[in-house]
Amino acid sequence: TPSSVPNQPLDAQRLWRQDKDHFIHPFTDFSVFHEKGCELITDSEGVFVSDIHGNRFIDGIAGLWCVNVGHGRSEIGQAMADQATRMAYFSTFNNLSNAPAAALAAKLAELAPAHLNHVFYTCGGSTANDATIRLVHYYFNRLGKPTKKRILSRRNAYHGTTYLSASLTGIESNNWEFDTLDHLVTHVSEANLYRRPEGMSEDAYCDHLVKEFEDTIASIGADNIAAFIAEPIMGAGGVLVAPDGYHARMQAVCRANDILYIADEVVTGFGRLGHFFSSEAVFDTQPDIINVAKGLSSGYAPLGATLISDKLYEVLGTPQGKGGVLSTGFTYSGHPVSCAAALKNIEILERENICANVRQVGPYLEQALKSLSHHATVGDVRGSHFMMCIENVADKATKELLPLEARVGDRVAFEAQKRGLIIRPVGHLNVVSPPLIWTRETIDTAVAILDEALAATTASLQADGYL
Ligand code: PMP
């Protein structure tokens, strides 16, 4: 049950009204928002967040897959305050720099796979992916291969919300009534083991996906393709874990065709799967570029980074042509306060062996969530370590989905929140991606709440005639 915590005096009604009248919320259903307005989250500590009315919840989504070290880490706040008072901001253009940006770049090079030693800073994950594609095009232009432009991505991938990263994104509903840069991006099938063709083995499914990838490359022509981008485990598109060996095989096809391999580790990085980077440690790949954000700073300050291989840097970092200026970068590339937050965040991850906690406790979370499979609507429980998801269905045998208007994901999330747990509804899915400091006890409490929430959801769906 939610319990009360002391809040600073905030005028709940006034803030609610200000928000409703003026804040255009991202990824928000306005038909609900106009009626209900916002819920103000005002306090946080450890694995908990509290709303303005003092109701406390277990955070089951790490903010938005990002608060990896948990909430209320005053030492991160202190590091940010120290940096902000000493030198809050100065440019990093030309040859200017600042201490946290320099130190963090070296730290990232140390933590990343051996061949990734160069860091281009961005403001978050979308801008990391966006900047990457520009750098990749620049790279091939400078190599005298200007036709290599097309980017291969996957259906149901999520890579962000700038124009270019939204175009890489393959979740159709994200782009409803928006435009996309279709001349730059081709989507191939995602790896969805749960919904793979009936009767096909995992190995045969993997062969099938690799073959489709090869065929796509052949039809577009490798000379026209710059890169392939993939999340090691697809996140927002449904926490989809690919078949064993899939990523390594996709990478081999890329190598054979002079196509760069970009891993979007915005969610999978910084411990969520038990390692700082999962590409090499878990999936046996050596990407040319790895993009990170979210857990890099645990959400304490906006920050993203694209980690570039030595091979690419040789070209990007070599003065040539028109003055040798790499003419891209943000005002906030290498923001000192964000980089100070990231350095302290990484220090905490290392000092508290948080990756090891995830490796130990992760399988317990997987098992605990799988124990909910008996509920009428739970079609699939999948994911890995601290990146999990429940897929709700109308019929387990046929895997048929409930109609959209049943809002099953919202129902489960609502029932869980009533009982003190926040999880994320995504259509008919519910994502569980907690702070990496969840213990077995937290998991037991959260899963007991989910158990009740799923039972209540079944009852409400039955009452409304959906089941
Ligand atoms: N890539 C992936 C895999 C993501 O999950 C996200 C955000 N959910 C992004 C990129 C975009 O990051 P941001 O929202 O920080 O721009």
Residue 317: pLDDT band (50, 70, 90) is confident
Q: Which tops the pLDDT comparison, 323 or 285?
A: 285
Among the residue ranges 27-31, 144-148, 246-250, 285-289, the one predicted with the least confidence is 27-31
Rounded to whole angstroms, how far apart are CA atoms 269 and 291? 9
Q: What is the pTM of this model?
A: 0.97
Verify that 303 and 198 share a domain, yes or no. Answer: yes
Q: Is 22 among the domain residues?
A: yes
Rounded to whole angstroms, how far apart are CA atoms 216 and 191? 15
According to the model, what pLDDT value does residue 3 have?
45
Nearest in space to 61 (alpha carbons), one of 232, 283, 239: 239
Verify that 240 and 269 share a domain, yes or no. Answer: yes
Rounded to whole angstroms, how far apart are CA atoms 463 and 467? 8
User: DSSP of 250-318, one letter per residue?
Assistant: HHHHHHHTT-EEEEE-TTTTTTTTSSS-HHHHTT----SEEEE-GGGTTTSS--EEEEEEHHHHHHHTS
Rounded to whole angstroms, how far apart are CA atoms 87 and 417? 41
User: DSSP of 410-439, one letter per residue?
Assistant: HHHHHHHHHTTEE-EEETTEEEE---TT--
> Does ligand 1 lie within 6 Å of residue 132's CB atom?
no
Nearest in space to 447 (alpha carbons), one of 366, 356, 384, 341: 366
> Does ligand 1 lie within 6 Å of residue 125's CB atom?
yes
Rounded to whole angstroms, how far apart are CA atoms 263 and 259? 13
Question: Which residues, other chains included, contact 33 with Cβ-Cβ below 8 Å and sequence gap of 6+?
Answer: 20, 25
- Per-residue pLDDT of 52-73, as tens digits, reads 999 999 999 999 999 999 999 9
User: DSSP of 140-157, one letter per residue?
Assistant: HHHTT-TT--EEEEETT-
Q: Which tops the pLDDT comparison, 8 or 213?
A: 213
Verify that 124 and 186 share a domain, yes or no. Answer: yes
CB contact at 8 A, 77 and 300 = yes
| Type of residue at 351 | R
Hey, is 384 helix, strand or coil? Answer: strand
Q: Is 7 among the domain residues?
A: no
| Type of residue at 58 | I
CB environment 285-309: b (16+ within 10 A), e (fewer): bbbbbbbbbbbbbbbbbbbbbbbbb
Residue that terminates a domain, selected from 318, 334, 351: 351
> Does ligand 1 lie within 6 Å of residue 236's CB atom?
yes
According to the model, what pLDDT value does residue 318 have?
82
Q: Mean pLDDT across the stretch 386-391? A: 98
User: DSSP of 34-45, one letter per residue?
Assistant: HHH----EEEEE
According to the model, what pLDDT value does residue 94 have?
92
3-state secondary structure labels for all residues of 218-252: HHHCHHHEEEEEECCEECCCCCEECCCCHHHHHHH
- ipTM confidence: 0.99
Residue that terminates a domain, selected from 351, 366, 393: 351
Range of the structural domain that residue 424 is part of: 12-69+354-463
Verify that 98 and 238 share a domain, yes or no. Answer: yes
Residue that terminates a domain, selected from 351, 375, 406: 351
Verify that 404 and 304 share a domain, yes or no. Answer: no
Q: Mean pLDDT across the stretch 281-289? A: 98
Q: Mean pLDDT across the stretch 168-196? A: 97
Number of compact structural domains in the chain = 2
**CATH number, position 152:** 3.40.640.10
pLDDT surpasses 50 at 38: yes
How far is Cα of residue 214 from the mean position of the Cα atoms in its chain?
27
Q: How far is the CA of 319 from the centre of ligand 1 (A)?
A: 32
Cα distances (Å, whole numbers) of residue 257 to 12, 184, 214, 422:
58, 18, 9, 44
- Residues forming beta bridges with residue 380, ordered by sequence position: 391
pLDDT surpasses 60 at 7: no
Q: How far is the CA of 125 from the centre of ligand 1 (A)?
A: 4
According to the model, what pLDDT value does residue 1 have?
37
> Does ligand 1 lie within 6 Å of residue 160's CB atom?
yes
> Does ligand 1 lie within 6 Å of residue 124's CB atom?
yes
Verify that 50 and 170 share a domain, yes or no. Answer: no
Q: Mean pLDDT across the stretch 154-182? A: 97
Q: Is 61 among the domain residues?
A: yes
Verify that 86 and 54 share a domain, yes or no. Answer: no
pLDDT surpasses 90 at 322: no
What are phi and psi for residue 147, nearest 5 degrees?
Answer: -80, -15
Nearest in space to 250 (alpha carbons), one of 223, 227, 278, 274: 227
Q: Mean pLDDT across the stretch 80-91? A: 98
| Type of residue at 2 | P
pLDDT surpasses 80 at 210: yes
Residue 426: pLDDT band (50, 70, 90) is very high
> Does ligand 1 lie within 6 Å of residue 295's CB atom?
no
Question: Which residues, other chains included, contact 406 with Cβ-Cβ below 8 Å and sequence gap of 6+?
Answer: 461, 464, 466
Q: Mean pLDDT across the stretch 190-200? A: 97
> Does ligand 1 lie within 6 Å of residue 235's CB atom?
yes
Residue 320: pLDDT band (50, 70, 90) is low
Verify that 430 and 309 share a domain, yes or no. Answer: no
Verify that 29 and 85 share a domain, yes or no. Answer: no
| Type of residue at 118 | H
If you ran DSSP here, which 8-state letter would residue 57 be given? E
According to the model, what pLDDT value does residue 2 have?
44
Q: Which tops the pLDDT comparison, 1 or 407?
A: 407
> Does ligand 1 lie within 6 Å of residue 158's CB atom?
yes
Residue 9: pLDDT band (50, 70, 90) is confident
According to the model, what pLDDT value does residue 324 have?
73
Verify that 106 and 33 share a domain, yes or no. Answer: no
CB contact at 8 A, 291 and 299 = no
Rounded to whole angstroms, how far apart are CA atoms 435 and 295? 10
Rounded to whole angstroms, how far apart are CA atoms 98 and 86? 11
How high does pLDDT run on average in the chain? 96
Tokens linked to 171 = 């979740």
Residue 325: pLDDT band (50, 70, 90) is confident
Ligand 1 nearest-atom number relative to CA 236: 5
Ligand 1 nearest-atom number relative to CA 231: 3
Q: Is 232 among the domain residues?
A: yes
Residue 321: pLDDT band (50, 70, 90) is low
